[in-house]
Amino acid sequence: MFANLKKGVSSKVNAIGLPILALIWVGFFWGTTWIASKEGVRYIPAIQMVAIRQFLAGSIYIVYFLTTKSPWPKGKQWKTIIILAILNFTFSNGLSTAGVKYISSGLGAIIAAIFPIWIVIISFFQGEKMAKLAVTGILISFGGICIIFYEHLSDFLIPDFRLGILLSVIATITWSFGTLHTKKKATTYNPYFSLGFQMFISSLLLFAYNEATGTSVSLSDIPINTWYAVIYLVVVGSLVTFTVFVYTLQKLPPEMSSLYVYMNPIVAILLGSAIFDESLTLSIALGGGVTLIGLYLVNKSLRQSRKKTNILIK
């Protein structure tokens, strides 16, 4: 009897503990990818680094599923794949990586975290009502951003800093459109296989851009530290952690699995300060906290909206 009780308790602990550990993994290691990106773009053009990363990761996904004889996407599914390849990986991933060349990795992570705000705003212009909770969250997040930039007002006189902010913001907008398109055009084929194609197609577009602009660096001239950063981004960022993230989606409620969004900027800020000596000031800490509180309210509003929609469908 005690053996069965012990087994049952152990099973419950694993059922709860492993998904939580997986969530912590996602929150921490996706936070570290901002540091790896910052390291990578120090020596080669950001777009080239993103192209190499996505070519390698996409190829690994595709080869794996080809060996397992997974069915290929068909017909209109290719249209969705191409659109998401452009929105999520060519623009969003490419521009956010390019942005951290000019701003701190922590600031880039905070800006990236506000993409749910754009989802609310885009949905509003598409005819959906904006809940009071969402409006409150947007205003609080905006206040947090203002606090962060209070000590950076003079930096806006620097063209590179303004460019980094602009690229990072555009990246969050394209990611939001990609998220909404994914929701609208949900497909029935293997999502991992689709992800591999999205990465691969985007890498070809980014390589073409590099060649057209003449901004590529010879592969033999890329320093070993950059290759380490790329390998880390491919293995840890794109392959391992994304798989762990899907596991959290399967095992945890949506409100818990989305907590990684709040963890990433904290990790990026702390590691950026430790590794790159990026400034960690009171305004960044306070403003980041206020921004994440507002973001939490926006996410809460989105979850409530989804619940109401599901009830109406039922």
Chunked mean pLDDT (size 10), the chain, 314 residues: 44 65 91 93 93 95 89 86 93 94 90 87 84 88 86 82 94 90 65 86 96 91 94 93 83 72 86 85 86 87 68 37
pLDDT of residue 16: 59
* Sequence-ordered list of residues with C-beta below 8 angstroms from that of 151, at least 6 positions apart, any chain: 281, 283, 284
pLDDT of residue 5: 40
Query: Would you say 110 and 291 are in contact if contact means Cβ atoms under 8 Å apart?
Result: yes
Per-position b or e across 139-167, b if 16+ CB within 10 A of its CB: ebbeebbebbbeebeeeeeeeebeebbeb
Handedness of CA 157, 106, 164, 300 (dihedral sign): negative
Query: Would you say 99 and 168 are in contact if contact means Cβ atoms under 8 Å apart?
Result: yes
Q: Which two tokens stand for residue 127?
A: 């005819």
DSSP state letter for 156: G
Query: Would you say 119 and 302 are in contact if contact means Cβ atoms under 8 Å apart?
Result: yes
pTM over 0.85: no
Contacts of range 270-276, beta carbons closer than 8 Å, 24 or more positions apart:
270/106, 271/31, 271/32, 271/34, 271/35, 271/105, 272/34, 272/35, 272/38, 272/104, 272/105, 272/106, 273/106, 275/35, 276/35, 276/38, 276/104, 276/105
